[in-house]
């Protein structure tokens, strides 16, 4: 009861926000920027197809999808590093990222030259800087388990003006970088055209770019949500954006398009190769659940994420079968112990990094359909190295 009272008190201490209407939410725009975002659940055409859809220079287009998964993002980094070392990694026409995938996506978009930076971020132990040793008791009196400042410093250190200009240059070539956030006020997934933001020429483009990445990576309750200033009808207010993974762990094809009777929104004859890297285990992971609040919440959340991600993968696969997409998916198919009380454990991150690297290097990584249940028996648990 005492803990419950502390949590309720923390909610009462939250700073006030300017309230706004649903109509204002629909019409909200970011001052000085054009059509840089859309709802992922909309069925309408994108605001400007030329600015949103990739313009591949070849008949084959390559789409890299990086999922959420927190520390499990090291798995994607291992895959990308091995892919580069094998000399077969394509230049992706589209890269999308959600949550930890959003942190990886900008550097993955720029290619193998940034592999070592990603490896350092996900395996050197610097991620431990995100965690305060006393984060659990402090969280009871705050809005989140962890402070935003260490995450913001990490993003600002690696996503610089130089990186922004390089992304803008690739956007002008017809390549696209997309990131998903969750608008908590509207309860809707928002797709951001990050290349268009980078290429906008606005003085605050870098700040907005960084804010979106931080928002997408801000797991609700773990990191604070990000407030983004918008205007509608001459009035200014702030939207609250948080983890894209709250809406979907992957950004493949917007769900509105999947449900639309219209044909696929890309040129006829184009062959789309989609590579989905899931930074999480989708196989069942048996463990006798400790009978306490945190453990039960963690296990239930993990089950929900698995189910949500599987459903999204199946929907994408079915859509791809109808529209000529060459579908490939990879996930963490080993049970590697993970403690929610140590969310950025370096040994865990190194273990999943090496798993991703080894699976890619061996040629065993990709599966051509989303079937995972029978992998559990074939791949027994292992410990972090």
Catalytic residue among 67, 76, 99, 182: 99
Determine the Cα–Cα distance for residues 285 and 52; give it in Å rounded to an integer: 38
Catalytic residue among 243, 246, 247, 331: 243
> Nearest to residue 99, comparing CAs of 228, 236, 248?
248
**Both structure tokens of 287:** 């463990």
> Does the annotation count 99 as an active-site position?
yes
* CB 316 within 8 Å of CB 274: yes
Cβ partners under 8 Å of residue 336, min gap 6 = 281, 348, 351, 352, 355, 381, 382, 383, 384
Active site residues: 99, 243
């Amino acid at each position: 009861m005492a803990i419950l009272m502390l949590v309720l008190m923390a909610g009462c201490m939250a700073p006030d926000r300017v309230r706004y209407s649903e109509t204002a939410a629909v019409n909200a725009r970011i001052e000085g920027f054009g059509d840089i975002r859309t709802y992922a659940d909309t069925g309408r055409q994108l605001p400007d197809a030329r600015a949103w859809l990739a313009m591949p220079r070849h008949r084959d287009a390559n789409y890299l999808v990086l999922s959420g998964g927190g520390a499990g993002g090291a798995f994607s980094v291992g895959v990308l590093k091995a892919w580069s070392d094998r000399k077969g990694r394509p230049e992706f026409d589209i890269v999308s990222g959600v949550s930890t995938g959003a942190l990886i996506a900008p550097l993955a978009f720029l290619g193998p030259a940034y592999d070592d930076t990603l490896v350092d971020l996900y395996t050197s132990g610097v991620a431990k800087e995100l965690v305060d040793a006393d984060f659990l008791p402090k969280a009871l009196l705050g809005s989140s388990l962890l402070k935003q400042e260490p995450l913001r410093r990490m993003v600002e250190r690696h996503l610089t003006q130089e990186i922004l200009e390089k992304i803008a240059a690739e956007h002008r070539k017809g390549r696209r970088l997309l990131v998903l956030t969750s608008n908590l006020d509207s309860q809707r997934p928002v797709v951001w055209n990050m290349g268009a933001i980078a290429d906008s020429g606005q003085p605050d483009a870098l700040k907005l770019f960084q804010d979106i990445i931080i928002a997408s990576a801000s797991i609700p309750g773990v990191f604070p949500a990000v407030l983004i200033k918008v205007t509608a009808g001459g009035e200014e207010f702030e939207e609250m954006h948080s983890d894209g993974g709250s809406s979907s762990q992957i950004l493949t094809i917007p769900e509105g398009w999947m449900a639309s009777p219209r044909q696929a929104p890309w040129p006829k004859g184009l062959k789309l190769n989609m590579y989905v890297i899931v930074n999480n285990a989708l196989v069942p992971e048996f463990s006798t659940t400790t009978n306490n609040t945190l453990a039960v919440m963690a296990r239930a959340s993990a089950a929900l994420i698995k189910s949500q991600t599987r459903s999204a993968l199946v929907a994408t696969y079915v859509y791809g079968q109808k529209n000529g997409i060459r579908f490939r998916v990879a996930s963490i198919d080993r049970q590697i112990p993970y403690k929610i009380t140590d969310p950025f454990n370096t040994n865990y991150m190194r273990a999943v990094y090496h798993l991703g690297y080894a699976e890619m290097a061996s040629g065993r990584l990709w599966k051509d359909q989303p079937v995972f249940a029978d992998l559990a028996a074939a791949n027994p648990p292992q410990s972090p190295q």
